[in-house]
Chains A and B, each alone.
Chain A
C-alpha cells in the first residue's frame, strides 16, 4: 500500500478538478469568441451566466486546498502541487472573467469590420491553443510543453500589434466604436494567453521546484 494513500488520492483528485476548472474556462473563451465573431447573442448570454459555475468551483477548490494544507502539513512536491493549484485556479478563474468581458462585447452593437474579426479570430485560435496546451502540461506534468508556452505567446502578441495598427488606420462614422470594442477584445485575448503562459510556468515550478519560474510567472 502506498504511504499516505488517502492524501495522495486527495491530491490527485484536486489536480484533476483544477483541470476541470481549466476546461470550463477554455469553453467559456471558445463560447465568447464564437459569440463575438458570429454575433451570437444567445451564446454570449450562456457564457455570462456560466461564469457563476466557474466561480463556485473556484471557491470549492480553494477551500479543498486550504483543508489539505491544514490537515496534511504538506512539504516538498506535495506542497508545490497545493500552492500551484491555488495559483492555477486563480489563473483559470480570471480567464473565465475575461471570457465574460468578451461575451459582453458580443452583445453590443458595433461595426464588425471583416479584417478586424479575422485578426481577432486568429488571436482567439492561438489563445485557445495555449489554454489547451497549458491544461495538457498540467495534466501530464509536461515540462517541454509548459516551457514552450511563452514562446508561442509571442505569435499572439504579434497578431495583437497587427490588429492595433489596422484599427488605428480606420476612419468613418463607425470607426470609433470598432476601435474601442475590437481593441478591448484583443486586449482580453492577450491577457487570456498570459494566464495560460502563467499556468505553464507554474507547472514547471511544481514539477522541478525551480524558483526562477516563480519570477517568470510574474514578469
Chain B
C-alpha cells in the first residue's frame, strides 16, 4: 500500500445490498452450479470500494448525490442508467479523475481497501496507478504499439524487463498474437477494437488492482465488443472491474453486480443523479426491487 495512509477505521453506514443479503434461493443456486462462474463469485465477497453518501458537484451544482454501495474484489460491477444520471461522474470518483475537472467537488466518502481515497496524504497519481481507466473512445498515443504499452512503466522508471512487461500486458489484453510481429508499427494502424485492447494493455502495464471502464465498447463493432467482453471475463480473475455502459445487455452479460442510477429533476430544472438500486446483476435483470429499475431495464423508460 505504498503511497496510501495506513488508516484502519471501520467503514461507516450500510450498503443497499451485500453478499450477506443473499437470499436462500440464490445461495442454493450458487451451490448447485458450483464449478461455474458462481464458484468464483464466492471469492468475490471481499470489499474493494466502499462508497458512503457520495456526491459530486460541479461549480456547486450537484451532479450526483447520496450514493452508498460496496464494490467487490474480482467482480465486475456495472453502472447503468439514462444519459445525464452521473454514471461517468460516479466512476471518475473511484480513481480521483474528478480532481482534474475544474470546479468538481466530491462529498461523502470513498474508501479503497479500507482507506479514505480522498485523504490529505493520498497521492492521486498513485491512486491512478492502482486504479486504471479505459475510456469510451480508444485513445492510443501517436506512438508505436510497443511504446504505447511501455509508456506507463517507463514513466515509473522501469528499464529492466520492459519487453516482458509489454508482452505480458498485450497477452493479458488478448492482443499479443495479433501484434507480436509488428510491435514497432504505429498504434493508429490497428482497428478500433484492437486500439481499445491496446489501451487496456496500456492500463494493465501498470499492474492495476482495479480497472475502470467508461463505455469501453460504445465505439466498437459487435465482434470487437465480444473480444472486450471476453477479455473482461478473463481479467476479473486477477482484478476488479467497474464498467459504465449504456448497453444493458452488456451489463447483464458481463457483470456480477449492477448499480442503476437515475436522474431527479428538481423544480428549478436542476438534474441530479442518484442511486436507485444496487444488487446482484441476476436479480436486477430478473426481478428488480424498484419499479424505476424495472421500467429502465425493460426499455419502458430512458
Contact = CB atoms under 8 A, between A and B. Distances in A.
20 contacts: A2-B300, A3-B299, A73-B249, A75-B252, A75-B286, A76-B285, A76-B286, A76-B297, A76-B298, A79-B285, A80-B287, A208-B287, A210-B287, A211-B23, A211-B25, A211-B26, A211-B287, A212-B25, A214-B25, A215-B25
A47 to B, nearest CB: 38
B288 interface: yes
B151 to A, nearest CB: 39
Interface of A: 2-4, 7, 73-80, 208-212, 214-215
Interface of B: 23, 25-26, 248-249, 252, 284-288, 293-294, 297-301
Contacts of A76: 284-288, 293-294, 297-298
Contacts of B301: 3
B99 to A, nearest CB: 36
Given A75-B297, A212-B25, 7 more contacts: A3-B301, A75-B248, A76-B285, A76-B287, A77-B298, A80-B286, A211-B26
For B26, B293, B299, the residue with the greatest tally of chain A CB atoms inside 10 Å of its CB is B299
Nearest to B29: A211
B76 to A, nearest CB: 17
B78 to A, nearest CB: 13
Nearest to B252: A75
Nearest to B301: A3
Contacts of A73: 249
Contacts of B23: 211
B287 A4 contact: no
A80 B23 CA distance: 19
Contacts of B297: 75-76
Nearest to B288: A76
- Which of A74, A77, A214 gathers the greatest number of chain B CB atoms within 10 Å? A77
Query: For B23, B287, B288, which residue has the most chain A Cβ atoms within 10 angstroms?
Result: B287
Q: Interface centre among B25, B294, B297, B300, by most A CB within 10 Å? A: B300
Contacts of B299: 3-4, 7
A153 to B, nearest CB: 23
Contacts of A79: 285-286
Q: Determine which residue in A3, A75, A210 has the highest number of CB atoms from chain B within 10 A of its CB, and name it.
A: A75
Contact of B287 (A3, A74, A209): A209
A78 B25 contact: no
Residue of B25, B294, B298 contacting most chain A CB atoms (<10 Å): B298
A149 to B, nearest CB: 21
B294 A77 contact: yes
A4 B300 contact: yes
Nearest to B300: A3
B16 to A, nearest CB: 17
A63 to B, nearest CB: 23
Pick the 5 closest A-B CB pairs, nearest first: A209-B287, A211-B25, A75-B285, A3-B300, A4-B299
A15 to B, nearest CB: 15
A77 B285 CA distance: 9
Contacts of A208: 287
